[in-house]
């Protein structure tokens, strides 16, 4: 594994200087760059996986987590520009999908280009109303019950109060960031969008994923996988095969 010395934001588990493109991966609430470790090992060597490491986790555990999603976009915007010398893609799951979407819009607006394709997973389209309860404000015990319901935090972690206390500030901050996010209408992206979802996801339904179609003037695809909100782990092998095919069949456009 190589930690890029020029930025704490990106982890490249398998550096690929000869790769023809890069895939930036944005984690879900509470997640870190490590959730994409196997992606780097299983996708084509032509694609260099750059996992985004947000503050408050992993090697950045001592940094305060951010409670505003658009502030995260502000902070990623400058360091990522050093890595846009090759065609690139964005993948984000749940909270990470909105970060990737807003960053793609920012790049299109400010530098005139963005990802060759945006891949969004386990996340309703941003223009849809957020009807989720304000989980970040829940008392300790109820918050833990919500984490257990979502099935994204390992049960062995939830069983150890000291571990939960260690992770709690980051989890609450991430939930606050996504729950307070406000979508602002803007012209749709010009790159294609691929959306992925879990058939048994209690949080995000197929029709809410389908609504991502309105965020692009280009192509759109939707693929559902067996599993709940965290199908990206349970169906990881199949998901990676599908992602690999989608990227291989995406027009990278002219070199920049």
pLDDT at 3: 52
pLDDT at 149: 67
pLDDT at 69: 97
pLDDT-derived band at 142 (thresholds 50, 70, 90) equals confident
User: Under a CB-based contact definition with an 8 Å cutoff, are residues 54 and 34 in contact?
Assistant: no
Instruction: Please give the DSSP secondary-structure letter assigned to residue 65.
Output: P
Cβ-in-10-Å burial (0-12, 13-18, 19+) of 248 comes to exposed
Distance CA(192)–CA(215), nearest Å, equals 9
Establish if 134 belongs to a structural domain: no
Distance CA(16)–CA(198), nearest Å, equals 31
From 43-52, 105-114, 168-177, the region with the lowest mean pLDDT? 168-177
- Split into its structural domains, the chain has a count of 1
The answer, yes or no, to whether residue 5 has pLDDT greater than 50, is: no
Angle CA(247)–CA(249)–CA(251) in degrees, nearest 5?
A: 90
pLDDT at 72: 96
Establish if 107 belongs to a structural domain: yes
Q: Is 100 left (phi over 0), alpha (psi -120 to 50) or beta?
A: alpha
pLDDT tens digits along 47-103: 999 999 999 988 898 999 999 999 999 999 999 999 999 999 999 999 999 999 999
The answer, yes or no, to whether residue 153 has pLDDT greater than 90, is: no
Which of the pair, 134 or 225, is modelled with greater confidence?
Answer: 225
Rg of the Cα trace of the chain? Answer: 17
The answer, yes or no, to whether residue 4 has pLDDT greater than 60, is: no
Percent of the chain past pLDDT 70, that is, above it, reads 85
pLDDT-derived band at 110 (thresholds 50, 70, 90) equals very high
pLDDT-derived band at 157 (thresholds 50, 70, 90) equals low
Q: Which two tokens stand for residue 208?
A: 């809410």
Establish if 228 belongs to a structural domain: yes
Contacts of 83 (CB under 8 A, 6+ apart): 10, 22, 24, 50
Catalytic option among 7, 21, 44, 94: 94
Instruction: Please give the DSSP secondary-structure letter assigned to residue 4.
Output: -
- Provide the domain limits for residue 57: 2-126+184-247
pLDDT at 159: 53
From 167-176, 211-220, 241-250, the region with the lowest mean pLDDT? 167-176
The answer, yes or no, to whether residue 109 has pLDDT greater than 90, is: yes
In 91-235, which residue ranges form alpha helices assigned H by DSSP?
95-111, 140-150, 155-158, 161-179, 206-210, 231-234
The answer, yes or no, to whether residue 32 has pLDDT greater than 70, is: yes
pLDDT at 28: 93
Asked if 94 is an active-site residue, the reply is yes
Establish if 169 belongs to a structural domain: no
Instruction: Please give the DSSP secondary-structure letter assigned to residue 73.
Output: H
Percent of the chain past pLDDT 90, that is, above it, reads 71
Establish if 213 belongs to a structural domain: yes
The answer, yes or no, to whether residue 155 has pLDDT greater than 60, is: no
Establish if 152 belongs to a structural domain: no
Instruction: Please give the DSSP secondary-structure letter assigned to residue 68.
Output: -
Distance CA(43)–CA(220), nearest Å, equals 22
Is pTM beyond 0.75? Reply is: yes
Q: Quickly tell me which residue has 């935090």 as its tokens.
A: 153
pLDDT tens digits along 190-200: 999 999 999 99
Establish if 222 belongs to a structural domain: yes
Distance CA(185)–CA(217), nearest Å, equals 15
Strand partners, 238: none
State CA 32 to chain mean position distance: 10
User: Under a CB-based contact definition with an 8 Å cutoff, are residues 4 and 13 in contact?
Assistant: no
Task: Report, as an integer, the average pLDDT of 15-36.
Answer: 92
Establish if 197 belongs to a structural domain: yes
Q: What is the CATH number of the domain that holds 58?
A: 3.40.50.1820
């Amino acid at each position: 594994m190589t930690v890029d010395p020029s930025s704490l934001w990106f982890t490249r588990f398998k550096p690929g200087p000869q790769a023809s493109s890069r895939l930036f991966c944005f984690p879900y609430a509470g997640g870190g760059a490590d959730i994409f470790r196997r992606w780097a090992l299983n996708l084509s060597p032509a694609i260099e996986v750059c996992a985004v490491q947000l503050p408050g986790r992993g090697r950045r555990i001592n940094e305060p987590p951010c409670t505003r999603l658009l502030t995260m976009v502000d902070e990623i915007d400058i360091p990522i520009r050093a890595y846009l010398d090759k065609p690139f893609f964005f993948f984000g799951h749940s909270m990470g999908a909105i970060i990737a979407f807003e960053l793609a819009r920012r790049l299109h607006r400010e530098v005139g280009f963005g990802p060759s394709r945006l891949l969004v997973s386990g996340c309703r389209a941003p223009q849809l109303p957020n009807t989720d309860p304000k989980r970040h404000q829940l008392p300790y015990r109820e918050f833990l019950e919500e984490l257990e319901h979502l099935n994204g935090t390992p049960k062995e972690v939830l069983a150890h109060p000291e571990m939960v206390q260690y992770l709690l500030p980051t989890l609450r901050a991430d939930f606050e960031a996504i729950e307070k996010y406000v979508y602002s209408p803007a012209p749709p992206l010009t790159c294609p969008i691929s959306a992925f979802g879990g058939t048994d996801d209690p949080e995000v339904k197929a029709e809410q994923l389908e609504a991502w179609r309105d965020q692009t003037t280009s192509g759109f695809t939707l693929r559902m996988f067996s599993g709940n909100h965290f199908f990206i782990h349970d169906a990881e092998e199949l998901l990676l095969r599908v992602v690999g095919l989608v990227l291989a069949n995406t027009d990278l456009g002219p070199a920049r």
